Chains A and B, each alone.
Chain A
Amino acid sequence: MAWWVVFALLIINKAGGLIYNRTFAPGLQKLDSNDYLILAGTFHGIHAISRSINPAPLAERLPGNRKPPTTGIESLESSHFRLTCFQAPTGVKFLLVTSPEQPNTDVVVRRCYELYGDFVMKNPFYSMEMPIRVEKFDRALGGYLVRP
């Protein structure tokens, strides 16, 4: 199943800053870290816009006349890759770039969130909203996403 490829994982904090960025397989353009930072910021903005241009008829109002929450971009397709975005309730976004044929990307990205919870959040030396430099997290992700 060589065509199922996970190209990269990006983690964006709730303020739109890139806190983790790793490529697992070649196939994407080579970008320097500055370009990835810009990309993360851009995506953060577009994600917010995509919530406000929702054309679907509004669902029932929540108690207190509040608008029901909208999700923002969940997946994006281009001719070369598919980007799956998972936003955790705390506002952290996980962007998984895969080949367009990769199935069950939402399951894969949730598993990455679990690993983040296990190895980053439970690490007492990690400071919130800062770039993730946790060796165990790297190793766990590598073991999960890199295909032998």
Chain B
Amino acid sequence: MAGASVYSFYIFDRHTECIYTKRWTGPQSIPQKSTATNALSNGAVPVSVKRAMKAEDDAKLIFGTIFSLRRMARQLGGKDDQFLSYRTGEYKLHYFETPTELKLVMLTDTRVGNMRTVLYQIWATLYVEYVVKSPLAPTEHPRGVGVANELFEGGLEKFIDSIFTPAQ
């Protein structure tokens, strides 16, 4: 998948909480300029705090979206129907749900094809191996405790890099 890019990746647990977020920031010169001017006009909230708040809100909006679309797919297609992905003119959202209602969401470029197997592999080879089997991680992950450990982060980065950069 040469030239395609991945924007962000989220994991939601069965209590609807976002337990892991990762964003890949590409060349973003234009929006940074605009946030700088915004910070001047209402100086009360620093840009970094604002950006963190925006990220948190985005995660909530994404959860709401996939929750509704998942229900819509079941309503139209029957009980065993699964919502897979949606595409807008700008980005594509891929969705995978495990039997334990762990939800994995990835936002990518529109040119990317089906990412279901990739999300499955992230769950099976990274999440299960490094988070579930970790003796230090709790069974539940309130506020993402124990998910973002070194092995999982490193593994995820390497895995995504191997998919989205052209093989030399």
A46 and B69 contacting across the interface, CB-CB below 8 Å: yes
Tell me if A78 is interfacial: C-beta within 8 Å of chain B: yes
Residues from 66 to 85 in A contacting B, C-beta threshold 8 Å: 70-81, 83
Partner of A72, one of B7, B34, B84, B88: B88
Tell me if A128 is interfacial: C-beta within 8 Å of chain B: no
Tell me if A107 is interfacial: C-beta within 8 Å of chain B: no
B76 and A81 contacting across the interface, CB-CB below 8 Å: yes
A79 and B82 contacting across the interface, CB-CB below 8 Å: yes
A57 to B107, CA, bound (A): 13
B7 and A56 contacting across the interface, CB-CB below 8 Å: yes
Tell me if B87 is interfacial: C-beta within 8 Å of chain A: yes
Given A46-B68, A46-B69, A79-B81, A71–B75 Cβ distance below 8 Å?
no
Chain B, residues 24-59, CB within 8 Å of chain A (1/0): the string is: 001110110010000000000000000000000010
Tell me if B166 is interfacial: C-beta within 8 Å of chain A: no
Chain A, residues 81-94, CB within 8 Å of chain B (1/0): the string is: 10100000000000
Identify the closest chain B residue to A81 (Cβ).
B77
Q: Which residues of B sit under 8 angstroms from A72, Cβ to Cβ? A: 88-89
B contact face: mostly helix, strand, loop, or mixed: mixed
A61 to B34, CA, bound (A): 10
Partner of A58, one of B8, B31, B61, B84: B31
A81 to B84, CA, bound (A): 10
B78 and A57 contacting across the interface, CB-CB below 8 Å: no
Chain B, residues 99-129, CB within 8 Å of chain A (1/0): the string is: 0000000010100000000000000000000
Q: What are 16 A-B contacts defined by CB distance under 8 Å?
A: A29-B75, A31-B75, A46-B64, A55-B7, A57-B26, A57-B27, A57-B28, A60-B30, A73-B87, A76-B85, A76-B87, A79-B84, A80-B78, A81-B73, A81-B77, A83-B76
Contacts A54-B90, A70-B90, A79-B81 supplied; 12 other A-B pairs, CB < 8 Å: A31-B75, A43-B72, A50-B88, A54-B88, A57-B26, A57-B27, A72-B88, A76-B83, A76-B85, A78-B83, A79-B80, A81-B81
B binding-site residues for A, Cβ under 8 Å: 7-8, 23, 26-28, 30-31, 34, 58, 61-62, 64-65, 68-69, 72-73, 75-78, 80-91, 93, 107, 109
